[in-house]
Amino acid sequence: MRMKRMDTFAFGRFAAFAALAFLSTASTFAQAQQRARARELGVAPGIFAPGKLNAITDVADVRVGQVTLQEGDKVRTGVTAVLPHGGNLYRSRVPAALHVGNGFGKFAGSTQLNELGELETPVLLTCTLCVWKAADAMAAWMLEQPDMQQVRSINPVVGETNDGGLNDIRSRPVTAKAVRDALEGARGGPVEEGSVGAGTGTVAFGWKGGIGTSSRVLPASLGGWTVGVLVQTNFGGVLQVAGAPVGRELGRYSFQNAVASELPSSAPFASGLADDRGDGSVIVVIATDAPIGDRNLARVASRAMMGLGRTGSSASNGSGDYALAFSTAASVRRAFDAPRHTTTELANEEMSAVFQASVDAVEEAVYNSLFMATTVSGNGQTVEAIPLDRVREILEKYGIRAP
C-alpha cells in the first residue's frame, strides 16, 4: 500500500513536470508561429533572386545540423554544424578561407585553415567557453569515421559567440553527445532559424539574436551559381533594416545614453540602462557551388563585413567578427593524398557577381536571425524578441512596403 502511494506521488510529480514542459514547448512554438522572415515583411536586399529555400542548404549537398540545449533555468545554448558535403571531409577537402573583421574572439582551427586554404572537418558554431569541448568532440567523431584509422592529425574548425547573459556559460554545458547529434543530424532542406542551436542564447542589437540564413542564385548569364549564408548573431550597433533606422525608432541602439544626454531635455533619455557599445560577436558562413579557390574565397569572405555594415554594425572593439567561405564545386575539391591538384576555377573577372550575392545574402540572413528569434529567459535574464508589429510600422513609415 505504501509503495502504491509512493508510485502515485511520483506519477503526480512526473505529470506536473510533463505539463510544465508541454506548456513551455507550446509557448515557444506559439512564439515561433508569430515570427516572420525578412521577405514576409517586404525586405528583400539586393537584385538577385534567392534559392528555393532561401537558405545555405540551397547550395547542393550542404547540410546543417542543430542541437538546442535548454536545461533548468540557466542553460540556454547549443551547437550548429555546417557540413560542406556528405562524404568524408578529411579525404575530400573543400577550398576555404577565413576573414577576420575584428578578432576579439576564438576561432579554433583558423591558422591551418588559412595556411592550407582548405577545410578538412565540418564547421561548428557554439558558445565561447565550449569551443574546445566542441573541437575535441568533433575530432573524436571524425577519427571514428571509415578510412580514418591511420590519421594522426585533425584540424577541427569551431567558431563562437558569447551567450553568457542568458546562458550559464561557466558551466560549459555543451557535451560530446550534443556535438555528435548536431553532426549526425545534419541534413539538407529548410534550416531552423532564430533562438535555436548556437543561437539559443545570443543577443543582437539589444534584441534576441540567433541563427539566420539566406541565399542567392545568379542568372545563367553570370554562371548560375548559388551562394548560401548562415549567421550566428550576437553583436550590436545601430540597427537599420533596408536603410530604415529601426534601432533609433525603437529607442534601442549603441551609445544611446551618451547621445541622449547631449540632446534637449525634452528628448527621450533611456536613464538607468547600460550604454551598449555594440560589443558581442558574429559568425558568418558562406557556401557556394561556384568553382572558387581559396585566394578568391578570402575575397568573398571579406565582403561579409559589407553585409554586416548594412545592418548597422561597426565591428566594435569587443566584437569578434569572423566570416568563413568555402566552395563545394567538384572541380576544386582536394583529395587528401593526391600528389598534385588540377583545378578549374573562376577567374578574378568573374567574381563580382559572387561578391554582390554574398553581401546581399549576409544582410538578409542577419535580419532573419532577428525576426525569427523568440523571447528567451535564462540565467536570471530575459531578452525580448524584436517586436515585428513595430518593425512593420517603421518600414511603412520609411517607404518600405511590408504586407
**Among 214, 215, 313, 319, the one annotated catalytic:** 319
Cα 252 from Cα 231, distance rounded (Å): 22
Contact 231, 365 (CB under 8 A): yes
Q: Give the helix/strand (H/E) hosting 96.
A: strand 92-103
DSSP-H helix ranges across 34-146: 110-116, 131-143
Closest CA to 278 of 255, 250, 310: 255
Residue linked to cell 565582403: 303
Of the residues 281, 313, 316, 327, which is catalytic?
Answer: 281
**Contact at 8 Å (CB) between 274 and 211?**
no
Is 327 an active-site residue? Answer: no
Q: Which of 386, 363, 390 is nearest to 54 (CA)?
A: 363
Measured CA to CA in angstroms, residue 320 lies from 40, 132, 207, 220 at distances of 30, 17, 18, 36
Cβ atoms 209, 233 nearer than 8 A: yes
To the query of whether residue 281 is one of the catalytic residues in this protein, the response is yes
Please say if 265 is a catalytic residue.
Answer: no
Of 69, 91, 87, nearest in space to 78 by CA: 69
Q: How far apart are CA 190 and CA 80, in angstroms?
A: 14
Catalytic residue among 276, 289, 294, 321: 321
Reduced 3-state DSSP string for 268-284: CCCCCCCCCCCCEEEEE
* d(C-alpha 125, C-alpha 56), whole Å: 15
Phi and psi dihedrals of 288, rounded to 5? -150, 150
Catalytic residues: 281, 319, 321
